[in-house]
Amino acid sequence: MFVKIEFNNNLKWISVNVDEATYQTFILQAMQKFNINDVDPNDVILCDTSGCQIENDDFVDFLKGVEKGFIFRIVNTRINTGADANPSAPSISSSSSTISESTTITLSSEDIVTINDLQGFIVPTSVPSSFDKEALQNLLIRVGATQIITEYETKKLLTRGNRRLLVNVIVLDMIEKYGQQPLKYIKTMYAKAIIDLFPNLRDPCSKYGYEAFYNPDERSGYIDWRLRTVRRSSKENRPEIPQKKPKLNVEEINLDNFQEDIDYLKHTHPKDPDLIEKFKATFLARRKLCNETNIFQEFPRFLDTPGLISLDFGLLYPNNDCINLELQILNISEKVKNIYCNEINSDNEYLNQFDVTTKTLFMLIKLLPATSKGRKKAVNRESLPEISKRLIVFKKNSESLEEIITAKKTNQPFLIASGSSEKAVDYYTISVDNKVLAVESITNSGQAFDLLFKSFFVFNLTYDPTLEIFYKFIQVFFYGIDDIKITPNIRELRSKLLAQ
């Protein structure tokens, strides 16, 4: 199909394959059409003629539904001077090197300019009125949502229900003023107002502090989620985009160079003094083979030699291995309990069967439930006793490990706690892909969970979808491995736990 594109008040036609087009390829094609060579494609966005931004996630649907004569406007978000500057943009005196936050910029009805600050936000055609913490407080009072303010003043946090109400109120106000696709600058302004009014909701581990509500770098957060939900509710037959499974980057290597050591490890004794050095020497081969074959066939020593999971994890993340997970969990256990009692406060009788570490992990699971994605069917909300069995299965002394593994029917890693009762566990073992891994005699639930978590990385496994957000929280909060997209609910819980 042919669509019109506009840049610097110039119009051109462009041919687009609707079935193959993506947001990125469309921008590159448009830049090529206008010979835009000195601009980073990441600094270019799409808008309609009113200046309303078209988001990456909505582009394909938008393209398929455009009416005849619709014009895509190409906007460079790093406008300075020269060929890509808007000729109708207001001039700024050269004697002023920066624009302060209090500077007033007068715009005509079609102007789009960039504020000269570190984040380069686009100011839409009509500059929004300031929205700060006072404006947010007045908004909550005006709509009768004062329970949000009262709860924060009392507890210094917001429960999940009041946080949802806060986001819904803000998004409704935003849509009334700026439409269903407000620009980055506006969403950022609202998000900043939230943490200014409720400072304990600030995430101290993030760049701006308000990323749980809106992350301008990734275009995510509770505000963006709610806006997308509102937009989806007015659309039908939205296509699902398959989610790619995350994989660790593996360096291209020649396995032939490692074959001699791999064969040696297959047949050596678990107590061979050279085993550890040979295992270290074949580390890169294991990274490659994790994606290509049954790792336990190639490296059977995982099944009879304790310590290899920690060894490989330490080679993967040398700066993240030496943590005392048990101690770290105990340090936050009271805060987790308080948040749990405020927000959920159920299954207390079930939770009291376990030691403090296990109980804290189970509460984190309930505080970080799985969420549905896009228009997929809502996730099944399992009860805590059901979902906890995805993490730990308790085995009576009379039962065999084979019976437990056969009944579980999963390839996902999980712990097996053996003992006379949940509070009297004698030792823990780990099952991965229906195999029992060799571990030291572990009687500590924190140490057992530490090895369970590390097994996902050592064997390059994806998290159980039901526990995905829980595991990602563990990954970011305790191990500091933040090379993933951190979801708003992870940021929110982290800020609550780190609040004084």
Which residues neighbour 276 within 8 Å (Cβ) at sequence distance 6 or greater?
311
Radius of gyration of the chain (CA): 27
Which domains, from first to last, does the chain contain?
A: 2-76 (3.10.20.90), 133-233 (no CATH), 256-303 (no CATH), 325-371+382-498 (no CATH)
Q: Which amino acid is at 273?
A: P
Max intra-chain CA distance, the chain: 84
Query: Which pLDDT score is estimated for 381?
Result: 67
* Residue corresponding to tokens 């997929």: 376
Q: Chain centroid to CA 156: how far?
A: 25
Angle, CA 347 vertex, CA 341 and CA 352 arms, to 5°: 90
SS (H, E, C) the chain: CEEEEEECCEEEEEECCCCCCCHHHHHHHHHHHCCCCCCCHHHEEEECCCCCEECHHHHHHHHHHCCCCCEEEEEECCCCCCCCCCCCCCCCCCCCCCCCCCCCCCCCCCCCEECCCCCCCEECCCCCCCCCHHHHHHHHHHCCCHHHHHHHHHHCCCCHHHHHHHHHHHHHHHHHHHCCCCCHHHHHHHHHHHHHHCHHHCCCCCCCCCCCCCECCCCECHHHHHHHHHHHHCCCCCCCCCCCCCCCCCCCCCHHHCHHHHHHHHHCCCCCCCHHHHHHHCHHHHHHHCCCCCHHHHCHHHHCCCCHHHHHHHHHCCCCCCCCHHHHHHHHHHHHHHHHHHHCCCCHHHHCCCCHHHHHHHHHHHHCCCCCCCCCCCCCCCCHHHHHCCCEEEECCCCCHHHHHHHHCCCCCEEEEEEEECCEEEEEEEEECCEECCCCCECCHHHHHHHHHHHHHHCCCCCCHHHHHHHHHHHHHCCCCCCCCCCHHHHHHHHHHHCC
Query: Which pLDDT score is estimated for 210?
Result: 94
Cβ(218)–Cβ(175) below 8 Å: no
Which residues neighbour 230 within 8 Å (Cβ) at sequence distance 6 or greater?
171, 175, 180
Q: Chain centroid to CA 394: how far?
A: 31
Query: Which pLDDT score is estimated for 137?
Result: 94
Query: Which pLDDT score is estimated for 312?
Result: 93
The tens-digit pLDDT sequence of the chain (500 residues) is: 788 888 877 888 888 887 778 887 888 888 888 888 777 777 788 887 666 778 777 787 777 777 666 777 887 765 433 333 333 333 333 333 332 333 333 333 333 333 333 333 333 434 445 789 999 999 999 888 899 999 999 999 998 889 989 999 999 888 888 888 888 888 999 999 999 999 999 999 889 999 999 998 888 899 998 898 887 765 443 333 333 334 445 556 778 888 999 999 999 998 899 999 999 999 988 988 887 788 999 999 999 999 999 999 999 888 776 678 888 999 999 999 999 998 888 888 889 889 999 999 999 999 998 875 544 444 456 788 889 999 999 988 778 888 888 888 788 999 999 988 888 899 999 999 989 998 878 888 999 999 999 999 999 999 999 999 999 999 999 998 887 888 888 999 999 898 85
